[in-house]
Amino acid sequence: MKGESRRVVAEKVKSGSRSKMKLWMIRATTSVVLWTCVVQLTTLGEMWGPRVLKGWPSCFLQDSAAVLEDKVPILAAPVLPPKRVYKNNGYLMVSCNGGLNQMRAAICDMVAIARYLNVTLIVPELDKTSFWADPSEFQDIFDVDHFITSLRDEVRILKELPPRLKRRMELGVIRTMPPVSWSDISYYRNQVCLFTVCLFIQFCMGNGCHVLETFAVLIYHSQLIFPFTCLNDIDDSVEDHRLHKFQSFFLWCLCYSFPLCKIPLKSVGTVPFCCTQVLPLIQKYKVVHLNRTDTRLANNGQPLELQKLRCRVNFSALRFTLQIEELGKRVVKLLRQNGPFLVLHLRYEMDMLAFSGCTQGCNHEEVEELTRMRYAYPWWKEKIINSDLKRKDGLCPLTPEETTLTLRALDIDPDIQIYIAAGEIYGGERRMATLASAYPKLVRKEVLLEPSDLRFFENHSSQMAALDYIVSLESDIFVPTYDGNMAKVVEGHRRFLGFKKTILLERRFLVDLIDCYNMGSLSWDEFSSAVKEAHADHMGTPRKRLVIPDRPKEEDYFYSNPEECLEPSHDLLSST
């Protein structure tokens, strides 16, 4: 009896533990199922929620939504353009040279070139070896993600080469070259060697060369010249100079060894020996590195779509970083609080004066200092410069004293704020005294902002120039004293923004008037009247871009007047 009772008790305990285990399993399973349903319903709520709640009282649906809208701000996702799908011909790497605005224009050109070659562009490398020695990377100045995504419907842009090609670059199995200055897009895209050869044959035969001599030159030409760039655009490297000398000597011996051949020596350099080869090189090497990018695309004669793409990159894709944009807007806000303001791009800085050789108003010690600096930089090719002649030709920046007379002659309000968009003015307060006396409201970013605001911009001249660029665009009047890259690019951008007032100074005419006034040949009224008359049509108003065939350096720069991208119709544009 006792054994049976013990067995019954044991079975009851065992069945009770089983029941508890089943109950625990049921609860656990139910919890898992419920949580899974909650997660699924939360995820799919936007799809079925409105349908389920459609018949419910409006107080629940609308009021709840209103409360949620008040508490949680709804941020619209940026709309990205669709990706352009194309067969990739290879990768284009570019190293920009020069200051910020020279590099800015070059980036626009390189994007357009990459688009028309159907290649992938690697985010451009900025110049770190120029006079300013700015270590800034692309992403330190421009919003790199916006740059890439905003242009995805035109060209594929990557931050760096794919890993398999990085190894090729490390081993040097890529082609590095400087493209020819002011080239047509066909130089980059089309293979026109046959056309070049035909021109050369016509040239030789027209100068009395025997057919065997002509083909001998062509054999030499195809072996030695085609793999390199044009004879008319030899790079500064020692190897290219040696090649150029060897080519010239070979052609001289070849042509003058036959009495029938009468090719003038001076014509050898003008023969179209260049074989356009950029795209074929990309297809051969997979990666081509362009190590110079300034003015490598012609101003005129390009397809309309290419010109508009250059504008799109300049005015939309190249957006400064958030830090630079916010600080620039703060400077503009501080200026606006005190009324209208004029931005004076006073390019009277040490590097500009040393490079140009302009020493008007400098003392003997300063002239010697500028000369030493010019000789210290071997890539500044012009060493012996006549400052007076250069000034008379209008090739020097206006001095602070000359600028003061010009602004007064143009009736610029002496009470207006003048923001100096420049680095340190050479000569300091001594040279700025005349301008400060006539226009006492001179300001700089270093005065408007706290030192802590500019701490991260120190020793980064391109980032400082970006701040000046933003302020220059927003100013009521923009006056550059020299037609450098910043003056030209800002001028074009202000045209795009609605032809904002930009006074483009005629320096060659001005220096003559200023000299006459200083010598007493002109009264103040005569001087002022002449200055106003000379600049009546130089206020940034619509006009046609000046085109000078075969002399691109002397014609209007595309980025100073991108008329293909401006609003007014062509009948509103006046010819120059």
For 240-283, write each residue's pLDDT tens digit.
444 444 444 444 454 444 443 433 433 333 333 344 478 999 99
Residues 469 and 393 in one domain: yes
How many independent structural domains does the chain possess? Answer: 3
List C-alpha distances in Å: 559 to 207, 312, 486, 505.
42, 12, 10, 18
Question: What are the pLDDT digits (tens) for 153-177?
Answer: 999 999 999 999 998 888 888 899 9
Among the listed ranges 24-33, 102-111, 413-422, which one has the minimum average pLDDT value?
A: 24-33
Residues 487 and 509 in one domain: yes
Residue 420 backbone phi and psi in degrees, to 5 = -85, 110
Contacts (Cβ under 8 Å, ≥6 apart) of 320? 141, 142, 143, 328, 466, 469, 470
Residues 367 and 512 in one domain: yes
Residues 356 and 396 in one domain: yes
- Residue 31 in domain: no
Question: What are the pLDDT digits (tens) for 293-341?
Answer: 999 999 999 999 999 999 999 999 999 999 999 999 999 999 999 999 9
Determine the pLDDT at residue 221: 43
- Residue 497 in domain: yes
Determine the pLDDT at residue 373: 92
> With 70 as the cut, is the pLDDT of residue 436 above it?
yes
Choice between 576 and 113, residue whose per-residue pLDDT is larger: 113
Angle at 368 between CA 363 and CA 371, to 5 degrees: 125
Residues 160 and 211 in one domain: no
The answer to whether 122 and 113 are in contact (CB under 8 A) is no
Determine the pLDDT at residue 172: 83
Helix, strand or coil for residue 12?
helix
Q: What is the mean pLDDT of residues 454-467?
A: 92
Phi-psi region of 419 (alpha: psi -120 to 50; beta: other; left: phi over 0): beta
The answer to whether 507 and 399 are in contact (CB under 8 A) is no
Q: Which domain holds residue 270?
A: 193-219+266-274
CA-to-CA distance for 330 and 211, rounded, in angstroms?
72
- Residue 5 in domain: no
Helix (H) or strand (E) holding 342: strand 341-345
The answer to whether 355 and 373 are in contact (CB under 8 A) is no
Question: What are the pLDDT digits (tens) for 335-392?
Answer: 999 999 999 999 999 999 999 999 999 999 999 999 999 998 887 888 899 999 999 9
Residues 213 and 348 in one domain: no
CA 528 to chain centre: 37
Residues 283 and 430 in one domain: no
- 265-270, long-range: CB < 8 A, 24+ apart: 267/203, 267/207, 268/231, 269/231, 269/232, 270/232
List C-alpha distances in Å: 20 to 11, 33, 543, 546.
14, 20, 92, 94
CA 314 to chain centre: 7
The answer to whether 248 and 194 are in contact (CB under 8 A) is no
CA-to-CA distance for 261 and 267, rounded, in angstroms?
13
Residues 467 and 407 in one domain: yes
Residues 215 and 149 in one domain: no
Residues 120 and 209 in one domain: no
The answer to whether 128 and 122 are in contact (CB under 8 A) is no
- Residue 123 in domain: yes
- 80-83, long-range: CB < 8 A, 24+ apart: 80/149, 80/152, 81/149, 81/150, 81/152, 81/153, 82/152, 82/153, 83/152, 83/153, 83/156
List C-alpha distances in Å: 521 to 116, 212, 512, 513, 515.
57, 69, 11, 9, 9
| Among 86, 80, 85, residue whose Cα is nearest residue 150 | 80
Mean pLDDT of the chain, nearest integer = 80
- Residue 539 in domain: yes
Question: What is the SS3 assignment for 397-430?
Answer: CCCHHHHHHHHHHCCCCCCCEEEECCCCECCHHH
- Residue 136 in domain: yes
Determine the pLDDT at residue 208: 53
| Among 87, 92, 90, residue whose Cα is nearest residue 284 | 90
Q: pTM (2 decimals)? A: 0.75
Among the listed ranges 21-25, 342-346, 476-480, 569-573, which one has the minimum average pLDDT value?
A: 569-573
- Residue 252 in domain: no
| Among 271, 281, 267, 268, residue whose Cα is nearest residue 228 | 281
CA-to-CA distance for 380 and 397, rounded, in angstroms?
17
CA 80 to chain centre: 22
Angle at 104 between CA 98 and CA 106, to 5 degrees: 75
- Residue 77 in domain: no
Residues 469 and 351 in one domain: yes
The answer to whether 182 and 216 are in contact (CB under 8 A) is no
Helical packing angle, 238-256 and 211-220, nearest 10°: 170
Phi-psi region of 90 (alpha: psi -120 to 50; beta: other; left: phi over 0): left
CA-to-CA distance for 404 and 412, rounded, in angstroms?
10
Residues 213 and 99 in one domain: no
